[in-house]
Amino acid sequence: MEEHTDILVAGAGAAGLTAALALARTSFRVTVVGPPDVGGSARTVALFDGSIRFLDNIDAWAPCADAAAALRVMRIVDRTGSIFAPPPASFPSTEIGLDAFGWNIENQVLVSRLADLARAHPGIRFIEDFVSGYAFERDCVRVRTKGGEAVSASLVVAADGRSSPTREAARITTTTWRYPQVALTAIFAHDMPHKDTSTEFHTRQGPCTFVPLPGTAEHPNRSSLVWMMSPEEADRRAALPAEAFAREASETGLRHLGALRLISQRGRVPMQGLTARRLTGARIALVGEAAHAFPPIGAQGLNLGLRDVAHLAEALEGAAAGDDAGAPARLAVYERLRRADVGTRTMGVDTLNRALLNHHLPMDFLRGAGLFALSSIGPLRRMAMREGVLPGMGAPRVMRQRPAPVNT
Ligand SMILES: Cc1cc2nc3c(=O)[nH]c(=O)nc-3n(C[C@H](O)[C@H](O)[C@H](O)COP(=O)(O)OP(=O)(O)OC[C@H]3O[C@@H](n4cnc5c(N)ncnc54)[C@H](O)[C@@H]3O)c2cc1C
């Protein structure tokens, strides 16, 4: 027996589950297919103010908030050894009128709490299984799960990550590239408080970033680490005993948190970039890393993915029951809303990363002068902070608004 749904979301990661929760607020019936990945990856995601507004608006932030730490100050410290190295720069969120730039949360905690919300949602059918096959037809997409369920949908939302089988099945091609870097991730307990400050140490092999996490009874001071380095260094550091690894991380971070103690597994992620040539096709829309991926610099990845989801919900808004969720006109709106943001962020992160990896003096000068100008020229600094948090032009409406108070 084949069941029909208006929208099928493939992938139950952060982007897919948020898509299911947001799209269930339209008039469409939603099915999400995928086992939520809640394995211990030691990865955290810093979600900016606009993303928090969006999650709040779909009642998905309150259940996550206790597991997140505020990011009130961003610091950049140049450790490249360049003769043009600028002094450390600090960017406080109050300067752009925000209590915090955003909040940092363990990815697996976020996914597991969003999955709980999706399971409890009366408007969502949640099939916790892999999709094993697709047939794209004129009026619908036929989907089969590994366990043998058959579902047809008017629209498939591909939220199944960077190697997206859904995107492949729809024959949407990608441009991909690699960086000579690997990111090691870890969670540390430390002696000194983080003071709600995220600090990015720029090294010749990439940024080494410490991001605040909330304390626990056992570990009152905790932070996560994303440390980009050459694959050889990553292999060496991944094999170090925990104490030696913590010591090297602490030294790279100039011991600003005091002594570090490793309290998680170490994660290892090769750095790659990807953009899909199109974000839509016949009866398909791509969101999250199925559409774009780049290195974790400036905490842009999932924030961009949540903007995809918010814009997709905007494109499907106002539909009546019985309307076609996969109507080409709606997908064209989504494609138009997303192109500039995805292109600009992908290029911005790529340029920043390559500037760090380039050891030539003129580039060192440009990088040093750029950071110095950003930190010392007030209007420029505020513009960069605002733009880092949310694009000044064309951000989804919901990310600009606070949710209306709920009448009880
Ligand atoms: C080290 C690191 C640090 C980062 N830090 C930040 C940060 O601070 N802020 C930020 O905004 N972003 C950050 N990012 C980026 C962010 O983690 C990603 O953008 C985000 O996790 C992508 O979510 P997603 O749901 O699109 O994809 P994924 O998390 O990859 O989820 C895809 C899901 O699809 C499922 N799937 C795959 N195939 C199938 C199938 N056949 N059927 C059903 N399901 C399937 C997978 O199992 C998975 O659950 C970071 C990334 C890294 C690597």
pLDDT in tens, 145-192: 999 999 999 999 999 999 999 999 999 999 999 999 999 999 999 999
By CB neighbour count within 10 A (0-12 exposed, 13-18 middle, 19+ buried), where does 354 fall? exposed
Mean pLDDT value of segment 206-212: 96
289 lines ligand 1 (CB under 6 A): yes
Residue 390 confidence (pLDDT)? 86
Number of the ligand 1 atom closest to the C-alpha atom of 183: 1
Provide the sign of the torsion angle of the four alpha carbons 252, 73, 268, 168, taken in this order: negative
Compute, in angstroms, the gap from residue 88 CA to the centroid of ligand 1: 31
Give the integer Cα–Cα distance in Å for 114 and 22.
11
Residue-wise pLDDT for 339-359, tens only, equals 999 999 999 888 888 887 777
Q: Which residues pair with 332 in a beta bridge?
A: none
pLDDT band at 405 (very low <50, low <70, confident <90, very high): very low
Where is 356: in which H helix or E strand? Answer: helix 328-357
pLDDT band at 134 (very low <50, low <70, confident <90, very high): very high
Residue-wise pLDDT for 29-81, tens only, equals 999 999 998 776 789 999 999 999 999 999 999 999 999 999 999 999 998 88
| Domain extents in the chain | 2-176+271-400
For 2-176+271-400, CATH number out of 3.40.50.880, 1.20.1440.230, 3.40.462.10, 3.50.50.60 equals: 3.50.50.60
Strands (E), 254-328: 260-262, 267-276, 280-281, 284-286, 292-293
Residue-wise pLDDT for 313-330, tens only, equals 999 998 888 899 999 999
Give the integer Cα–Cα distance in Å for 319 and 265.
46
* Structural contact between residues 28 and 319, judged by C-beta atoms closer than 8 angstroms: yes
Number of the ligand 1 atom closest to the C-alpha atom of 293: 19
Instruction: Look at residues 280, 275, 289 and name the one whose alpha carbon lies nearest to residue 16.
Output: 289
Percent residues over pLDDT 90 in the chain: 79
Q: What angle do CA 335, 339, 344 make, to 5 degrees?
A: 165
Residue 407 confidence (pLDDT)? 42
Give the integer Cα–Cα distance in Å for 271 and 183.
7
Q: Which residue has the higher pLDDT, 21 or 357?
A: 21
Percent residues over pLDDT 70 in the chain: 98
Compute, in angstroms, the gap from residue 184 CA to the centroid of ligand 1: 16
Pairing of the two strands 267-276 and 174-190: antiparallel
Instruction: Supply the mean pLDDT for the chain.
Output: 93
pLDDT band at 403 (very low <50, low <70, confident <90, very high): very low
